[in-house]
Amino acid sequence: MHVHRATMALNAKCLGVQMTGQLETDDGQTSTNTVDEGELIDEIERIVRQTKKAYGYQHLSAIGTGLRVRYPDFSPKQYGYKKLLDLIEAHPDRFKIKWSAPAHKGKSHVWVRLATEPKRKEGYATSSPDKAKPKQKPRLMMAQEFARLCEWLEGPKGCNFRTDPNSPDGMTWTCDGSLRKTKQWLRRRPFLSIDGNVKQIKHLDGYCDCEVLFNAVGDWPQD
């Protein structure tokens, strides 16, 4: 049975299970070939703007095709989402979604349009996203985004929670005593405020990456 590691770590703390931390001595930087989520969202907007459909709706499948043309190795799982639709739904400030009944037996169709543009039958006034898109102020994480941060921090690119080889009933992890990994995750999402989110995390007694999991999980403001 799969147990979420943040929950397991939190329960271990509450129950007094032995868990040991380990200092990280290298720079810990992780190389990746994926673009940051902010750039990906901008590319989705560009694809939506290319639609010829009324009221500016673009079919979800066309968005997926366009992303794979631009980024051949693209997968929503690289960003913590199970499906492309989940990724788009996480940005209601940028996109609106509607479902239409299938013309024939099968799955319903999913359509996406820009939330930042007025709804016009002829589509968008301009094909240039730079001219039409207002500059958006970086914001605090929503509850689902904070959950994805925690999941990332638990994994091998974050604090790497794992069974302690010297204590089968305990766990060990890697933390350098700072919020470096948390800031690294936020930096790849320019629509999220680094300073604002770090301030909120510290308000919840999260002064280093592992404390985000031990102290802030369960207390992040709900949407």
Q: How many CB atoms lie within 10 A of CB 71?
A: 16
* Whether residue 29 has pLDDT greater than 50: no
Give the model confidence (pLDDT) of 113-137 as tens digits. Answer: 998 887 777 777 654 544 445 567 8
pLDDT per residue as tens digits for the range 60-96? 999 999 999 888 889 998 888 899 999 999 999 899 9
Give the Cα separation of 91 and 115 in Å (integer): 10
Q: What is the pTM of this model?
A: 0.55
Domains and CATH numbers, the chain: 5-30+138-216 (no CATH), 37-132 (3.30.420.610)
Cα 58 versus chain centre, distance: 22
As given in the structure block, the two tokens for residue 24 are 């990280």
Residues 6+ positions from 156 with CB-CB distance below 8 Å = none
